[in-house]
Chains A and B, each alone.
Chain A
Amino acid sequence: MEEPTTTPPAAATPAILVATLAYMLNVQETGQTFPLPASIATDDNLIKRSLASVIPYIDTAKLERSEPKDGVVTITVTKTHAPKGAGFTGSSFSPVIDSLIASEADGTNAVIRTFLDVEQMSKEIASYQPHQILELKKQIEAAFKSGEKQDNAFKAIVSALIESSPQAARVVPVGF
């Protein structure tokens, strides 16, 4: 039977180094650099908790540690963006985004989707019975009908967007 092995935490710093290294925190956005006590600097979560009131975005920021140089480890704080898009429910974009999320179809034009379907089953089609041929023919005809409608609508929207004058948004989407 094998002995159970324990894997040390990946981000943990060997205890022997903790005693000898000094730590500097570098805030990339402002260019500020200041020392950090080793008791905080060895743990990212501790850094975030300690500096939350000083650096508001630190919770989502990226912390990167340099290799020790002359006994000093520099921890760089880099701001990262939250996901883009309309974030709060009062945004005028929200109904559009909600509709997109709730929609069942993937937005592929019916002609393209049917083409892909036919391509997937093309080998079977070669041995179809007459009634199956008729059925497939009807499906393709329906796809032409709705696909053309969809394509025309799409072109009309693109054309309307191109022709409309730009307007400043009333809300700032999250992430900007």
Chain B
Amino acid sequence: MELATQRQDLLEKARLALLRLNPPSYGFADAALTEVHVALQVISVITKVHPKKYKKQITKVLQEFFKDIRTPRMRQTDNQGCYNSALIARLINDNLFHVDEFWLDEECMDFGTDNVVQIEWMGYRISWDEYDEMLSRLDELSRAGSFTIMMGILWGNVAPESIKEVWNFCNETYRWNLPEIPEIQNNCYIDISRLKRGLRKHGLQSLASLIEAFDGSTGNAFYDFDPETWMPITISENDLVVAHEAWLEVPKIRKILDEAYDILETRSDVFPLFLEAYIKSLRSRERKGKG
């Protein structure tokens, strides 16, 4: 057994000596060292946020990462990822915050040439395309899903000539109890504090949070993230810590939003009560310099 260990040790020394004789190009070394630097930054943040258990959390992955920092990079071809970068992404995902699934794929990740990471956004923001798709499949929605349609109508996302048809269909199918289409004044904004107060009276304040999530204004990056306009996070210790702190808030927000969906599914009076509070919360925009 001891002989086998000695032999292994000798082989490892020989391997390292041979590698030393073969210095890589500047570009290769720069990319590989950047990857190592990103790994060290991630480890550094994990030690800060998990001071007691970090060793247990990361040792195995680190051993895998530092087993060979050259070959995985040599294996990559154009526009392909690097195995070691996928390991770092996994470390972030398991210990700091969830990253986009795409970023966990070895084929796609390369911190050596692009040291950014995409967070896993929660998907409450709805794109125009997604909204149009929902409109095209109105009969397949849940009652809670129809709330999105209502908000789209109130926010002017439905063509005027289609509003009546869509509203009536949803009102009947999803029991909105709102036969009349409300008149919404132009050029106004939602006073969210007032809306929350109005909804709280009926135990519906979670709906205000749901609207914020639709709008991308919860104040939490994981809910507000817009993949079409936001840049991915460039890895720095500070940004990793901020993202981790935001991730810790995610369960609390998720619980509120789940509650909102439950209410939308179960309470028969939810749509009229919401609409009443919503209309009362609207404020006209004042033009500056007028008057």
A interface residue numbers (CB < 8 A to B): 108-109, 111-112, 114-116, 118-120, 122-123, 125-127, 130, 133-134, 136-137, 140-141, 143-144, 147, 151
Given contacts A111-B30, A147-B26, contact A130 B67 (CB under 8 A): no
User: Could you say which of A112, A120, A133, A134 contacts B24, with CB atoms under 8 Å apart?
Assistant: A112
Stretch touching chain A among B34-42, B90-98, B133-141, B144-152: B34-42
Contact A140 B44 (CB under 8 A): no
User: Could you say which of A111, A125, A151 contacts B33, with CB atoms under 8 Å apart?
Assistant: A111
User: Could you say which of B25, B33, B67 contacts A118, with CB atoms under 8 Å apart?
Assistant: B33
Closest beta carbon of chain A to B111's beta carbon, Å: 13
Q: How far is the CA of A47 from the CA of B54 in the complex (A)?
A: 78
Tell me the chain B residues, 56-79 only, with Cβ under 8 Å from chain A: 59, 62-63, 65-70
**Set of chain B residues within 8 Å of A109, measured between Cβ atoms:** 26, 29
Report if B19 contacts A (CB, 8 A): yes
Contact B70 A126 (CB under 8 A): no
Closest beta carbon of chain B to A96's beta carbon, Å: 23
B interface residue numbers (CB < 8 A to A): 12, 16, 19-20, 23-26, 29-30, 32-34, 36-37, 40-41, 43-44, 47, 54, 59, 62-63, 65-70
**Set of chain A residues within 8 Å of B29, measured between Cβ atoms:** 109, 111-112, 114-116
Listed from nearest, the 5 A-B pairs whose CB atoms lie closest are: A115-B29, A122-B66, A126-B62, A112-B29, A126-B66
Contact A119 B70 (CB under 8 A): yes
Contact A143 B33 (CB under 8 A): yes
**Set of chain A residues within 8 Å of B66, measured between Cβ atoms:** 122-123, 125-126
User: Could you say which of B19, B43, B44 contacts A119, with CB atoms under 8 Å apart?
Assistant: B19
**Set of chain B residues within 8 Å of A125, measured between Cβ atoms:** 62, 66
Closest beta carbon of chain B to A49's beta carbon, Å: 44
Nearest residue (CB) in A for B44 is A133
Nearest residue (CB) in B for A112 is B29
Closest beta carbon of chain B to A136's beta carbon, Å: 6
Contact A126 B24 (CB under 8 A): no
Contact B37 A112 (CB under 8 A): no
**Set of chain B residues within 8 Å of A141, measured between Cβ atoms:** 37
Given contacts A118-B36, A140-B36, contact A108 B23 (CB under 8 A): yes
Supply 7 further A-B pairs (C-beta < 8 A) apart from A114-B29, A143-B33.
A119-B19, A119-B69, A122-B66, A127-B59, A133-B40, A133-B47, A140-B37
Contact B30 A118 (CB under 8 A): no
**Set of chain B residues within 8 Å of A120, measured between Cβ atoms:** 16, 19-20
Closest beta carbon of chain A to B26's beta carbon, Å: 5
User: Could you say which of A126, A130, A151 contacts B59, with CB atoms under 8 Å apart?
Assistant: A126
Q: How far is the CA of A137 from the CA of B54 in the complex (A)?
A: 18
